[in-house]
Structure 1
C-alpha cells in the first residue's frame, strides 16, 4: 500500500508518501481498495497544526474514500483520519453502498461537503421553498454543495465570491445571482428584496458581520468555518435585532459522535445524486504524490470545487 504521512505539524504542511505492506482486516473488518480519496481544507489545516484536533503523530489525513471491498462498491467515512491511502481496513458498519451510476470520484468528493450541507440545511436549520439563501465562498467545495442543496430544497440562492470566474462557477451550479464582497450588506439586501433568510458562511473574516446584518426578520446565520483565517466577532445586539439566529454547523463532530446517523445521511446523499436530484461537480483528480497541490490550493483560496487523490 501507499499512503500519505504527516510526521510533524508544520506550516507549510510537509506531507510525504510512504510504501508499506497492505493492512490485514480483523474480525468485523474488511480491506478496502481505494479508488478515490477526498482531500479537504481541514486536512491541510490539521497538518499545519491549526485545527482544534491534533491526532497523534505520525498520521494519515483524510476522512472520506470510495473504492471496492469484497467486490462491492463502497464509500467509507472514517471517524479518525487515514483516508489518503491506496488500501485501508474499515469496520463493516462504516461501509456505505455506492449506487450504480455514481462514480467513485463523485462519491468520495461529495461525502463530506454534501454531507455537511445536508446536515446544515436539514438538521441545523430548515430551509423552505422560495427563501433566499446567501452562500459566502460560493465557488469552494462547501459553497457549491450549499448552492446545490439549497436549490434542491426549492430555495433561491445568492452566491458571493471574490472573482468573476468563481462567480461564474456558482451560477453554473444553480445560483440565481452572484456578487462580490464589496458593500456586501447593501448588495445582499438589494438582491433579496430586503434581507436574506439564511446565510451559509464557511469563510469568516469581515464578510461575516456584513452578511449577518443583511439577514431579514427571523434570519439564520450558519457558521461552518473560517477559510479566511480570521474568526469573526459577531455582535450580539445584531443577533438580537429582528430575531436572528446564529447556528454552528460542525458535521465532523456530529459524524464522530453518531457514526450511524452520518452513514445514513451519506447514503441518502448518494441516492439523491443517483436519482439526479443533486448534481455535484466533477472533482479535480490528482495522484497521491501531489497531495500538497490540493491542500495548498485550499489554504490559498485558489481552489474551485473539490480535489480527490487517485492512489
Structure 2
C-alpha cells in the first residue's frame, strides 16, 4: 500500500510502498479516506515534536476512514463503519492499524473532509476553553493565531459559548476569515500593537495562544486580574519565559495544555468533548473551515501551505 513517510528528518516526505497492516488485539484497520494536517506534523518532520518515532515513519495525526478489520477484544466497531481518529502518526497511508480506543463514530451528515478537520482543531479548543479555562459567557477571550487550524475553532467556539472574542491574525484577508467565524474585534499582528489594542477594549479574561513568543508577552501584559492564559503551541518558534511576578500581581493563572496527552491520561475528557462537538455540528452550530484539499501524492505541497502560513483553517489530504 502507499504511504507518505519521513525517511530523513528535515526532508520532504517520500511516497513509499509498505506492507498492509493487520489488526492486533484492541485495534482496528481503517481504510483511510482523508487526513487532516496539523502544525505538529511539521514538528514531527523536524524531529522536534513531543513524540519522536524512529525513521522511517508514516506522517499524519488524524484521519477519517472506514473500518475494514476488527482485532481481538474490539466490540465498539464493526467492518464498514465510518470513524474518525486521532492516531498521532500513520494517517497519510491507504490503510492504518490503530487502537480502537482512539476512534469515534461519525454521523452520516459529516463529510470525509469535515471529519478529518474536526477532532484535533475543535477538540483542542473545546477542551482548552471549557474543561481547562472554564470560559464563561460574557468574558473576553483573546485568540492569537486566530485564522489557523486551532485558532479559528477557538474563535467559533468562544463565540458559541457566549464570550466576547478578540481575534489576532496576520493581514486583512486572514482577519476576515476570523470575523466570519464570529470574532467581535480584529487585531492585525503585522501592524497593530496587541497589548495596546486589547487594553483599550478592557483587557482579556482568557488568552488562547498557539503562537508564543512576543505575542504571548503582549497578551500577558494585556490581561485583566484573575485572567487565565493557555499556551498550547509555539508557532513563532519561541517558547516564552513567564515572569512569575506578573502572575502574582494580577493573580493570573497559566494553564499547561496538550490535547493529545489526554488519550493516555484521561481519554474520557476527549470522548465527552467530542459528543458535545458532534451535537453542535449536527445542529449546524459549527462548521470546519477547510481552505485546501490535496491528493496524497501532493502531501508535501499541502504541508508547505501550513509551513508558509498560506492556509486558513485546516488543510486536508484526500487519500481515497
Q: What TM bracket, shorter-length normalisation?
A: over 0.9
Q: Is the 8 Å Cα contact of residues 290 and 315 (structure 2) preserved in structure 1?
A: no
Q: Partner residue of 2:42?
A: 44
Unaligned runs of 5+ residues in structure 1 are none
Unaligned runs of 5+ residues in structure 2 are 68-78
RCO comparison, higher one (Cα < 8 Å, 6+): 1
Kindly report which structure 2 residues correspond to 1:133-282, keeping only aligned pairs within 5 A, or say none: 133-181=141-189, 182-191=192-201, 194-282=202-290
Q: TM-score, normalised by structure 2?
A: 0.90
RMSD over aligned Cα atoms:
1.7
Cα distance in 2, alignment partners of residues 23 and 37 from structure 1 = 17
Query: Per-residue displacement from partner, 1:205-254 (whole Å, max 9, x unpaired)?
Result: 11111111101111111101110111122222221122111111111222
Corresponding residue SS for 1:207: helix
Q: Is the 8 Å Cα contact of residues 38 and 65 (structure 1) preserved in structure 2?
A: yes
Corresponding residue SS for 1:248: coil
Q: TM-score, normalised by structure 1?
A: 0.93
What is the total number of aligned residue pairs between the two structures?
A: 306
- How many angstroms does 1:259 deviate by? 3.4
Candidates 47, 55, 71, aligned match of 2:80: 71
Residues 5 and 222 of structure 1: is their aligned pair in 2 closer, same or farther, counting only changes over 3 Å? same
Cα distance in 2, alignment partners of residues 256 and 302 from structure 1 = 33
Corresponding residue SS for 2:108: coil
- How many angstroms does 1:28 deviate by? 4.0
- How many angstroms does 1:17 deviate by? 1.3
- How many angstroms does 1:260 deviate by? 4.5
Q: Does 1:23 align with 2:31?
A: no
Residues 252 and 303 of structure 1: is their aligned pair in 2 closer, same or farther, counting only changes over 3 Å? same
Q: Does 1:124 align with 2:124?
A: no
Corresponding residue SS for 2:43: helix
Q: Partner residue of 2:9?
A: 9
Q: Is the 8 Å Cα contact of residues 106 and 283 (structure 1) preserved in structure 2?
A: no
Cα distance in 2, alignment partners of residues 269 and 246 from structure 1 = 25
Residues 267 and 34 of structure 1: is their aligned pair in 2 closer, same or farther, counting only changes over 3 Å? farther
Q: Is the 8 Å Cα contact of residues 227 and 299 (structure 1) preserved in structure 2?
A: no
Residues 18 and 142 of structure 1: is their aligned pair in 2 closer, same or farther, counting only changes over 3 Å? same
Q: Is the 8 Å Cα contact of residues 109 and 283 (structure 1) preserved in structure 2?
A: no
